[in-house]
Amino acid sequence: MCHAADSEPPLLPPDLVARPRIAGGAPAEVLELESADGTRFSAAIAEAPDARGPGIVVLPDVRGLHPFYMRLAERFADAGHPAVAMDYFGRTAGLGPRDEDFEYMPHVAQTRPETIQQDAAAALALLRERTGAASAVSVGFCFGGAQSFLLATVPEVGFDAVIGFYGALASERLGPAAPLYRVADTRLPVLGLFGDADQAIPVEQVRQFEAGLEQAGVQHEIVVYPGAPHSFFDRRYEEHAEACEDAWRRVLGFARGVGAPV
């Protein structure tokens, strides 16, 4: 997995906190959504009382709707961005959320970008209905980072831009459907955040991806943090606190530069 069982999203830099939601922060609300093919799946929404910009759809790592990502949705809400964290496994594992006992890999193997995109569209519809968000950004991590990059190739889903943390760029499972091989089809602005000590994503692949975005003529920013490993965006990684703070600032700055305000 990407994060340890006790992992926590990094805290927001104090100057990026818009307003605590309720007395230290109300928990994200877990609910059920329905995808275009009739699949019921779980998601968690954190609303922002002092919205500053686009809504966020969080695409988790392989664990799906794990508490790490529900808390991350809450962090985004604290920064003024209503956020929905979604699960991937309604078709094969039923409803979430997912705990540490969830055996995710058999279910990951059965996912398809097309059905994840359907689920992301349903999460986006919820975000708009509940919060009035006029624009939205996907933010994905590892497995979800790859799926976020792929959302930039299907603008009809409805996102305005995409962000990926250490999203896998090439994989045996995705084959020619992986982001590195679909980069020419990118149609939305992209922010990619990687670490040069990530053994799963060679820096050479990151640079290939960056060159492909340049050739595609889309707005993009690719950041590679020196010494940062895979999954560096974790409060436990105190030695990468500077990279985490910089990532927060880049993510929120990028999001606020997208589309119309909420």
Domains delineated in the chain: 14-256 (3.40.50.1820)
Taking only the tens place, the pLDDT of each residue in 78-95 is 999 999 999 999 999 999
Q: What is the mean pLDDT of the chain?
A: 93
Nearby residues of 156 by Cβ (< 8 Å), 6 or more positions away? none
* pTM of structure: 0.94
Nearby residues of 60 by Cβ (< 8 Å), 6 or more positions away? 66, 68, 69, 85, 86, 87, 88, 140, 141, 143, 144
Taking only the tens place, the pLDDT of each residue in 204-217 is 999 999 999 999 99
In sequence order, what are the beta bridge partners of 136?
Answer: 55
Across the range 142-168, mean pLDDT stands at 98
Across the range 139-165, mean pLDDT stands at 98
The tokens describing 89, both together, are 């496994």
Of 113, 50, 41, residue with least CA distance to 84 = 41
What was the pLDDT predicted at 25? Answer: 56
* pLDDT surpassing 80 at residue 4: no
What was the pLDDT predicted at 262? Answer: 34
20: alpha, beta or left, given left = phi > 0 and alpha = psi -120 to 50?
Answer: beta
- CA separation for the pair 144, 187 (Å, rounded): 18
The tokens describing 129, both together, are 């209905």
- CA separation for the pair 75, 61 (Å, rounded): 17
Band the pLDDT of 26: cuts 50, 70, 90: low
DSSP 201: S
DSSP 50: T
Across the range 28-53, mean pLDDT stands at 93
Percent pLDDT > 70 in the chain is: 93
Across the range 211-233, mean pLDDT stands at 97
What was the pLDDT predicted at 260? Answer: 41
Of 233, 255, 228, 230, residue with least CA distance to 244 = 233
22: alpha, beta or left, given left = phi > 0 and alpha = psi -120 to 50?
Answer: beta
CA distance readout (Å), 84 to 36, 47, 176, 177, 242: 18, 9, 29, 25, 26
Of 130, 36, 43, residue with least CA distance to 86 = 43
